[in-house]
């Protein structure tokens, strides 16, 4: 899951490029291994924005706590704001990616892991 593999066969890649590469946000329409359509219905990934938002909030809290632990600063809100905004900016590709991955793994009852597809032979339409 952490490698962005297909939630059904856990073999095929979901994304074309690496996270911070130029093609980092390009996604395959279908799993290159088992042929699963990732975008189950049109607009499906709009819901991923909510997951992405939740990730952002979690990261912002983590960054704020980390800033406090590292600097002990309670005076300047700008320090926190800068760290949080900078962190969110740096983590944006990460959020984009994992919000969709989490969607498919946890929030899509139609897609389950199918071990019989987790094989090396590349049969399509299995
Ligand atoms: Zn697959």
Of 41, 32, 26, give the one whose Cα is nearest residue 6: 32
- How much distance in Å is there from the Cα of 26 to the middle of ligand 1? 17
Q: Give 81-102 pLDDT, tens digit per residue.
A: 999 999 988 999 899 899 999 9
- How much distance in Å is there from the Cα of 124 to the middle of ligand 1? 10
Q: Give 110-124 pLDDT, tens digit per residue.
A: 889 999 898 876 555
125, pLDDT greater than 80: no
Average pLDDT for residues 37-47, to the nearest whole number?
88
- How much distance in Å is there from the Cα of 10 to the middle of ligand 1? 6
Task: Identify the band that residue 23 occupies on the pLDDT scale cut at 50, 70 and 90.
Answer: low
- How much distance in Å is there from the Cα of 77 to the middle of ligand 1? 46
């Amino acid at each position: 899951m952490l490698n962005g593999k297909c939630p059904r066969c856990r073999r095929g890649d979901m994304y074309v490029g690496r996270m911070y590469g130029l093609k980092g946000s390009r996604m395959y329409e279908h799993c290159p291994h088992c042929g699963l359509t990732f975008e189950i219905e049109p607009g499906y990934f709009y819901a991923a924005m909510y997951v992405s938002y939740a990730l952002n909030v979690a990261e912002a809290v983590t960054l704020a706590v980390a800033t406090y632990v590292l600097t002990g600063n309670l005076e300047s809100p700008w320090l926190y704001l800068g760290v949080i905004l900078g962190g969110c900016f740096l983590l944006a590709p990460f959020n984009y990616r994992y919000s969709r991955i989490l969607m498919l793994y946890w929030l899509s009852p139609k897609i389950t892991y199918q071990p019989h597809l987790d094989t090396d032979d590349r049969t399509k339409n299995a």
